[in-house]
Amino acid sequence: MSSASTAQAGAPANRPAASSPAHARARKPLLGPLASVGLLASILVSLLAASSAPTPLYAIYQQHWGFSPITVTVVFGVYAVAVLASLLVFGKISDHVGRRPVLVAALLGQVVAMVVFLTATGVGGLLAARIVQGLSTGAAVGAIGAGMLDIDPRRGGFLNSFAPAIGTASGALVSGVIVQYLPAPTHLVYVVLLAVFVLQALAVLALRESVSRKPGALASMAPEIKLPAAARTPVAIAAPVLFAVWALTGLYAALGPAIVRTLEHSDSVVWGGLPLFVLAGSAALAVVFLRRTATQTVMLIGIGTLVVGVTITLASIASGAGGVVSVAGFFLGGAISGFGFGSGFQGGIRMVMPQVAPHERAGVLSLLYVVCYLGLGVPAVIGGILVVHGGGLVETAREYGAAVIALALIALTGLVVSGRRAERVSVVRSHPEPRAVVAATQSPCVAEVAAQAE
């Protein structure tokens, strides 16, 4: 039970201390549980929207500053590396100092990043802004996800999967619309985001802290890969899926605008943001539609739709000739792949997080994001290098997609093998009762817990 719940449960025993109405008003939090979860989800949306907002702008930056596709993917990859570093150093710190201080610091870091974007005059400014943005995002995502689970495990589990997809989709599309149709194309989107982050930082001050402080904050900043025993098997199963689906996101974010320009023969910035919007929007729909589906089924759906969608995408760009059919196929493949992204990401989170104690949530969730951002950044940078020094854009996209399919099939193998092993363990350890049969048909981690409880 979180400290917030404990405080509520203990309120009747402390009536004398709250006898003064003024004192009671001073102690009462401004935000209730529902509003608190909503605020945390909105911050996660904003962070992911800010991360994808520069995507439609890369073509404009290239025109102004004359850099190559390698530079685009390096600017993209630097953000992922900064997120990784921050997750490894700050991922567990909110378990010790509380969620609120980490979130306020991270949001102020985002404000600084937006200022650097606004004042950038070359690639160096973009790199600096992406580094600051990545560091503050990495510090925040674990605290946000753990905070939502602290307050409301059911809604928090859903929003941990839904909010990132909504943020990624909205950032790419809204940025493209602002750049295409409103004044100050390389500045206005950052001004809007800066104002949002300032307001959210002020709102965080009204949050009730959901965990109690505990010693060890400095020690928690030493990078280490440490998993609770109960989460090791689920993480081993979920990691290839998470890596694959975020690698696909990297493809659409780093190379998507160039691919759609090749197919559509259009320089529209809105068209450049559409591939990522379609992918992430479909991912959000998957989270909604599958939220009550069994975890293992969600994972299987994610892997299957990911393979089918990427295959359609590769077929649509194989000729590189463009045309209505190629463009339609590219976006259809993106929509199906996006459903796989949302399913795989949701399934991975749901497979792991129920096995983790409250004081371990931020650390484990941060580790999952490490896997995600490795998938997001590393393949994208390699892809940029191959575009220039390899077989070009179309050939690189084909190789990239084939790698995503291979990762998905590896994940499928692990999921099937683990499911069979869990079923055998459940049968051996349990009596032939209906409950044991049900446990054996659920996700591997659920089946193991049920078998141990018998």
Tens digits of per-residue pLDDT, 261-301?
777 777 777 777 788 888 888 988 998 999 889 888 998 99
Q: What pLDDT does 423 receive?
A: 52
CA angle 243, 450, 157 (to 5 degrees): 45
Please compute the mean of the pLDDT values over residues 170-194 and round it to a whole number. 87
**CA distance readout (Å), 443 to 294, 298, 307, 323, 416:** 7, 10, 21, 43, 10
Tens digits of per-residue pLDDT, 225-240?
677 887 888 888 888 8
Give domain status of residue 426, yes or no: yes
Give domain status of residue 431, yes or no: yes
Give domain status of residue 165, yes or no: yes
Count Cβ atoms within 10 A of the Cβ of residue 129 and give its class: 0-12 exposed, 13-18 middle, 19 or more buried.
Answer: buried
Per 3-state DSSP, the chain is made up of helix, strand and coil in percentages (nearest 5) of 85, 0, 15
Q: What pLDDT does 73 receive?
A: 75
pLDDT band at 110; cut points 50, 70, 90:
very high
Domain count, the chain: 1
Alpha-carbon gap, residue 45 to 197, rounded angstroms: 11
Give domain status of residue 9, yes or no: no
Alpha-carbon gap, residue 102 to 121, rounded angstroms: 30
Q: Is 391 helix (H, G, I), strand (E, B) or coil?
A: coil
Alpha-carbon gap, residue 111 to 113, rounded angstroms: 5
Written as six digits, the tokens of 97 are: 């100092």
Among 302, 293, 357, CA closest to 92: 357
Give domain status of residue 219, yes or no: no
Give domain status of residue 21, yes or no: no
Tens digits of per-residue pLDDT, 17-37?
444 444 444 455 578 888 999
Q: What pLDDT does 419 receive?
A: 63
Q: Is 212 helix (H, G, I), strand (E, B) or coil?
A: coil
CA 250 centroid distance within chain:
12
Q: What pLDDT does 224 receive?
A: 66
Give whichever of 22-26, 367-371, 437-441 has the largest mean pLDDT. Answer: 367-371
Q: What percent of the chain has pLDDT over 90?
A: 19
Across 20-24, 218-222, 402-406, least confident range: 20-24
| pLDDT of residue 103 exceeding 90 | yes
Q: Report the 10 Å Cβ neighbour count for 28.
A: 10
User: pTM, whole model, 2 decimals?
Assistant: 0.70
Give domain status of residue 317, yes or no: yes
Give domain status of residue 309, yes or no: yes
Among 404, 138, 146, 356, CA closest to 235: 356
* R_g (Cα) of the chain, nearest Å: 23
Helix axes 361-389, 123-151, angle to 10 degrees: 150
Alpha-carbon gap, residue 165 to 270, rounded angstroms: 19
**What is the CATH classification number for the domain harbouring 145?**
1.20.1250.20
Structural domain containing residue 333: 32-210+227-453
Alpha-carbon gap, residue 37 to 159, rounded angstroms: 9
